[in-house]
């Protein structure tokens, strides 16, 4: 059975930030977004390997990227999910694209450096581009009740079933 699309009660960006800061355990542990973690790790490993698969240290970078994205993807997905109701929506999306992308890539760079990965620059360029696009795409989906975890969320396969209708309504100018 498919979960109903939640009605999003708007809140200010400040209220969303306060909710995250006041209860980080709920945001980052109880509502850890495993959907974002799994999808992020899978897609990142593919894109990162396409950009860096040269030389003996390249596989090390791919494994670091895969493990890093699996670990941190769920935390960033949870934070993005916490801001999906924030208004104005354009500002919440812009803040997410800049703050989350910047924070994730600073940590990613440190992980790759510490792991002695090769071709870090080319991998990071691809990764930053993918991050901005995927973050905004995920935020759109989360605002429409897809790719969320926790209370009121649906199964991943139900999210994939609803995906075409949400994309059609977005690009067609109507809300799903």
Token digits of residue 53: 């698969």
93, 139 in Cβ contact below 8 A?
yes
How many C-beta atoms surround the C-beta of residue 84 within 10 A? Answer: 24
The residues near 130 (Cβ < 8 Å, ≥ 6 apart) are 43, 44, 47
Beta strands in the chain (DSSP E): 11-12, 86-87
User: Is position 6 within any domain?
Assistant: no
This prediction has a pTM of 0.71
User: Is position 2 within any domain?
Assistant: no
* Number of domains comprising the chain: 1
Apex 46 CA angle, 97 and 124, nearest 5: 45
Packed helices 120-143 and 101-114: angle between N→C axes, nearest 10 degrees: 140
User: Is position 4 within any domain?
Assistant: no
User: Is position 67 within any domain?
Assistant: yes
45, 166 in Cβ contact below 8 A?
no
How many C-beta atoms surround the C-beta of residue 22 within 10 A? Answer: 9
What does the pLDDT read at residue 44?
A: 73
Closest CA to 9 of 19, 22, 24, 23: 19
What does the pLDDT read at residue 1?
A: 47
User: Is position 42 within any domain?
Assistant: yes
What does the pLDDT read at residue 55?
A: 65
Per-residue pLDDT tens listing for the chain (176 residues): 444 555 557 899 999 989 989 999 998 888 889 998 988 888 777 776 666 666 666 777 778 778 877 888 888 889 889 888 899 988 888 877 787 778 878 888 888 888 887 778 887 888 788 778 878 888 888 988 999 998 878 899 999 999 898 888 877 765 54
User: Is position 1 within any domain?
Assistant: no
User: Is position 95 within any domain?
Assistant: yes
Print the domain residue range for 46: 11-172
User: Is position 162 within any domain?
Assistant: yes
142, 96 in Cβ contact below 8 A?
no
105, 128 in Cβ contact below 8 A?
yes
| Number of H-type helices and E-type strands within the chain | 8, 2
């Amino acid at each position: 059975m498919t979960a109903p699309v939640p009605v999003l009660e708007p809140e200010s960006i400040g209220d969303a930030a306060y909710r995250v800061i006041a209860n980080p355990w709920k945001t980052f542990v109880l509502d850890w977004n495993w959907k974002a973690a799994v999808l992020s790790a899978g897609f990142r490993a593919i894109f990162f390997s396409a950009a860096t698969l040269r030389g003996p240290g390249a596989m090390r970078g791919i494994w670091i990227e895969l493990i890093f994205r699996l670990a941190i993807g769920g935390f960033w997905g949870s934070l993005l999910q916490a801001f999906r109701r924030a208004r104005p929506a354009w500002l919440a999306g812009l803040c997410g694209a800049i703050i989350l992308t910047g924070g994730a890539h600073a940590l990613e760079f440190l992980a790759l450096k510490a792991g002695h990965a090769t071709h870090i620059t080319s991998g990071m360029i691809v990764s930053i581009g993918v991050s901005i696009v995927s973050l905004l795409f995920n935020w759109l989906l989360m605002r429409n009740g897809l790719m969320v975890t926790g209370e009121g969320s649906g199964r991943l396969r139900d999210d994939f079933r609803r995906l075409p209708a949400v994309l059609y309504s977005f690009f067609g100018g109507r809300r799903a």
